[in-house]
A and B are shown apart, each in its own frame.
Chain A
């Protein structure tokens, strides 16, 4: 697996049973993709790792203080992540189907919001699949932008060269 193509996913969730099941489910669903998953019980641990290893997607639990009462909550961690990398894709997980939490998550920059119902794993995989498509489209767009810039630079260079020749060596063009 080349490091360049690797998709790093961070899971921030204080329930280890849930984390293990989610990790295994994602690895099974995207077995053909170079996905690397790291998990953290607190947002603080995630942020520490995030400084040295960049993730493209973070799956973040909204309630992170059930095991560690003083741990930062999901929205605080989302703010840190967005400050560190505005392009990070964050999927917010919550047990409560609340419009307030959903709108708060989106306002703070979450890419998606998944409620932990019976179909949670399917929804997370669907969300990841969409994010991977967006990430691929962004990479393609960057590639075409680079090609376009190169073409533009060459055309500009050609025009300048023609103008220089026209001014300095007009006989060459006649």
Chain B
């Protein structure tokens, strides 16, 4: 009897292929970048969350801008339009409601990304 099972697996939000190709497969370099990412980006995310609580548009804009570069290196393309919109709203100092909506998505995707990157780190020894 064929058993049809539907398995739900979350899709990967990171694509480390770009980083691996760029580094020419040098594991020590990739690991170094991953470790820096795992130190830097959670701090930036906390910074954005705090700035949203304080409605500090300038910091929202700056941190969204910096995070865009970091996440693009880890191939987290889902976050680019979110961060771009946050940066634009920060620049125009408008619509904190929309910024909050975007930050929910940002936090969810980031948590998933941190898990993936943490797991991937063990492949580059």
Q: For the complex, would chain B's binding face be called helix, strand, loop or mixed by DSSP majority?
A: helix
Q: Is B22 an interface residue (CB 8 A)?
A: yes
Q: B66 CB to closest chain A CB, in angstroms?
A: 4
Known: A18-B73, A95-B68. A28 touches B36 (CB 8 A): no
Interface residues on A, range: 10 to 19
Known: A65-B62, A95-B69. A20 touches B22 (CB 8 A): no
B residues contacting the other copy or chain, number (CB 8 A): 23
In the complex, what distance in Å separates the CA atom of A20 from the CA atom of B36?
A: 8
In the complex, what distance in Å separates the CA atom of A18 from the CA atom of B65?
A: 12
Query: Which of B19, B22, B41: most chain A Cβ within 10 A?
Result: B22
In the complex, what distance in Å separates the CA atom of A28 from the CA atom of B33?
A: 15
Q: Which of B6-14, B24-32, B98-106, B107-115 contacts A (4 or more CB under 8 A)?
A: B24-32
Task: Tell me whether B73 and A21 are in contact (CB under 8 A).
Answer: yes
Known: A66-B62, A66-B63. A17 touches B41 (CB 8 A): yes
Q: Across the interface, which residues of A come within 8 angstroms of B73, CB to CB?
A: 17-18, 21
Number of inter-chain CB pairs below 8 Å: 57
The B-contacting residues of A in range 99-155, CB under 8 angstroms, are: 116, 118, 121
Known: A16-B40, A17-B37, A17-B40. A24 touches B69 (CB 8 A): no
By beta carbon, the residue of chain B nearest A117 is: B72
| B81-123 interface bits toward A, Cβ cutoff 8 Å, 1 = contact, 0 = none | 0000000000000000000000000000000000000000000
Q: Is A15 an interface residue (CB 8 A)?
A: yes
Report which B residues bind A (CB closer than 8 A): 19, 22-24, 26, 29, 32-33, 36-37, 40-41, 58, 62-63, 65-66, 68-70, 72-74
Report which A residues bind B (CB closer than 8 A): 14-18, 20-21, 24-25, 28, 63, 65-67, 69, 95, 116, 118, 121
